[in-house]
Protein backbone atom coordinates (compact mmCIF):
# COMPACT_ATOMS: atom_id res chain seq x y z
CA UNK A 1 0.00 0.00 0.00
CA UNK A 2 2.80 2.45 0.90
CA UNK A 3 4.56 1.72 -2.40
CA UNK A 4 1.42 2.60 -4.39
CA UNK A 5 0.93 5.85 -2.49
CA UNK A 6 4.59 6.76 -2.99
CA UNK A 7 4.29 6.01 -6.72
CA UNK A 8 1.10 8.08 -6.95
CA UNK A 9 2.73 11.08 -5.27
CA UNK A 10 5.79 10.74 -7.51
CA UNK A 11 3.56 10.70 -10.61
CA UNK A 12 1.52 13.60 -9.34
CA UNK A 13 4.71 15.64 -8.96
CA UNK A 14 6.06 14.46 -12.33
CA UNK A 15 2.89 15.44 -14.19
CA UNK A 16 2.10 18.61 -12.22
CA UNK A 17 2.78 20.94 -15.14
CA UNK A 18 0.75 18.75 -17.53
CA UNK A 19 -2.14 18.60 -15.09
CA UNK A 20 -2.07 22.34 -14.46
CA UNK A 21 -2.05 23.23 -18.15
CA UNK A 22 -4.43 20.49 -19.39
CA UNK A 23 -7.56 21.65 -21.17
CA UNK A 24 -10.03 19.19 -22.66
CA UNK A 25 -10.42 21.19 -25.87
CA UNK A 26 -6.69 21.49 -26.64
CA UNK A 27 -4.49 18.75 -28.10
CA UNK A 28 -1.33 20.16 -26.52
CA UNK A 29 -2.29 18.71 -23.13
CA UNK A 30 -2.24 15.19 -24.52
CA UNK A 31 1.08 15.86 -26.23
CA UNK A 32 2.48 17.24 -22.97
CA UNK A 33 1.55 14.07 -21.08
CA UNK A 34 3.12 11.91 -23.78
CA UNK A 35 6.27 14.03 -23.85
CA UNK A 36 6.63 13.87 -20.07
CA UNK A 37 6.18 10.09 -20.17
CA UNK A 38 8.78 9.70 -22.90
CA UNK A 39 11.34 11.86 -21.08
CA UNK A 40 10.76 10.02 -17.80
CA UNK A 41 11.04 6.63 -19.49
CA UNK A 42 14.22 7.77 -21.26
CA UNK A 43 15.74 8.77 -17.93
CA UNK A 44 14.79 5.41 -16.45
CA UNK A 45 16.29 3.43 -19.33
CA UNK A 46 19.46 5.52 -19.27
CA UNK A 47 19.95 5.20 -15.52
CA UNK A 48 18.90 1.58 -15.01
CA UNK A 49 20.25 0.05 -18.19
CA UNK A 50 18.50 -3.22 -17.44
CA UNK A 51 17.91 -4.09 -21.10
CA UNK A 52 20.46 -4.86 -23.79
CA UNK A 53 19.60 -1.75 -25.81
CA UNK A 54 18.92 0.64 -22.93
CA UNK A 55 21.01 3.52 -24.33
CA UNK A 56 19.45 3.21 -27.76
CA UNK A 57 15.96 3.09 -26.25
CA UNK A 58 16.70 6.16 -24.12
CA UNK A 59 17.78 8.10 -27.21
CA UNK A 60 14.71 6.99 -29.19
CA UNK A 61 12.46 8.19 -26.39
CA UNK A 62 14.20 11.57 -26.29
CA UNK A 63 13.81 11.98 -30.05
CA UNK A 64 10.13 11.09 -29.75
CA UNK A 65 9.71 13.55 -26.86
CA UNK A 66 11.40 16.33 -28.84
CA UNK A 67 9.10 15.77 -31.82
CA UNK A 68 6.10 16.00 -29.48
CA UNK A 69 7.50 19.15 -27.90
CA UNK A 70 7.90 20.82 -31.29
CA UNK A 71 4.41 19.79 -32.39
CA UNK A 72 2.86 21.14 -29.18
CA UNK A 73 4.94 24.31 -29.37
CA UNK A 74 3.41 25.01 -32.77
CA UNK A 75 6.28 27.36 -33.56
CA UNK A 76 8.82 25.03 -35.11
CA UNK A 77 9.65 27.59 -37.76
CA UNK A 78 10.24 30.52 -35.39
CA UNK A 79 13.90 29.64 -34.85
CA UNK A 80 14.48 30.79 -38.42
CA UNK A 81 13.66 34.36 -37.43
CA UNK A 82 15.80 36.90 -35.67
CA UNK A 83 14.22 38.51 -32.62
CA UNK A 84 15.56 41.77 -31.34
CA UNK A 85 14.35 44.40 -28.91
CA UNK A 86 13.11 47.48 -30.73
CA UNK A 87 11.86 49.91 -28.10
CA UNK A 88 9.65 50.13 -25.03
CA UNK A 89 6.45 50.29 -27.09
CA UNK A 90 7.06 47.07 -29.03
CA UNK A 91 8.55 44.07 -27.28
CA UNK A 92 10.18 42.37 -30.24
CA UNK A 93 10.56 42.91 -33.95
CA UNK A 94 10.74 39.97 -36.35
CA UNK A 95 13.16 39.85 -39.22
CA UNK A 96 14.07 37.06 -41.58
CA UNK A 97 17.63 35.85 -41.35
CA UNK A 98 19.40 36.85 -44.55
CA UNK A 99 18.96 34.58 -47.57
CA UNK A 100 17.46 31.67 -45.65
CA UNK A 101 13.67 31.74 -45.89
CA UNK A 102 10.72 33.22 -47.71
CA UNK A 103 9.35 36.42 -46.23
CA UNK A 104 7.41 35.85 -43.02
CA UNK A 105 3.64 35.66 -43.57
CA UNK A 106 3.73 34.92 -47.30
CA UNK A 107 2.21 31.83 -48.89
CA UNK A 108 5.66 30.33 -49.36
CA UNK A 109 6.40 30.89 -45.68
CA UNK A 110 3.24 29.09 -44.53
CA UNK A 111 3.89 26.19 -46.92
CA UNK A 112 7.33 25.77 -45.40
CA UNK A 113 5.97 26.02 -41.86
CA UNK A 114 3.22 23.47 -42.46
CA UNK A 115 5.74 21.15 -44.10
CA UNK A 116 7.98 21.30 -41.05
CA UNK A 117 5.03 20.57 -38.76
CA UNK A 118 3.89 17.71 -41.01
CA UNK A 119 7.40 16.24 -40.83
CA UNK A 120 7.38 16.29 -37.01
CA UNK A 121 3.95 14.66 -36.94
CA UNK A 122 5.04 11.99 -39.40
CA UNK A 123 8.29 11.24 -37.58
CA UNK A 124 6.62 11.06 -34.16
CA UNK A 125 3.96 8.73 -35.58
CA UNK A 126 6.55 6.45 -37.16
CA UNK A 127 8.60 6.24 -33.97
CA UNK A 128 5.51 5.56 -31.87
CA UNK A 129 4.14 2.90 -34.21
CA UNK A 130 7.45 1.10 -34.57
CA UNK A 131 8.81 1.36 -31.03
CA UNK A 132 6.02 1.77 -28.48
CA UNK A 133 5.87 -1.89 -27.54
CA UNK A 134 9.63 -2.05 -26.99
CA UNK A 135 9.56 0.73 -24.35
CA UNK A 136 8.80 -1.43 -21.37
CA UNK A 137 10.27 -1.53 -17.90
Tell me, what's the pLDDT at 112? 78
Q: Which of 15, 39, 8 is nearest to 29 (CA)?
A: 15
pLDDT < 70 stretches in the chain: 74-101, 104, 136-137
Q: Could you state, in order of their start, the residue ranges of all structural domains in the chain?
A: 2-134
pLDDT tens-digit readout, 84-124: 545 556 555 555 555 566 776 788 877 877 788 888 889 99
Q: What share of the chain is helix, strand, coil (3-state, %, to 5)?
A: 65, 5, 25
User: Phi and psi for 107 in degrees, rounded to 5?
Assistant: -60, -40
**34 conformational bin, left if phi > 0, alpha if psi -120 to 50, beta if neither:** alpha
Q: What residues have CB less than 8 Å from 93, skipping those under 6 apart?
A: 83, 84, 85, 86
DSSP letter, residue 102: P
Hey, which bits of 4-103 come out as E strands?
81-84, 93-96
Amino acid sequence: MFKEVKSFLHNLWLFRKCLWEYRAWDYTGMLSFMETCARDMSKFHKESGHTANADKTAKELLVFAEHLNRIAGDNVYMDSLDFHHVDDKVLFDLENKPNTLPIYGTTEWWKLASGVMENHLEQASKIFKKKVRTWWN
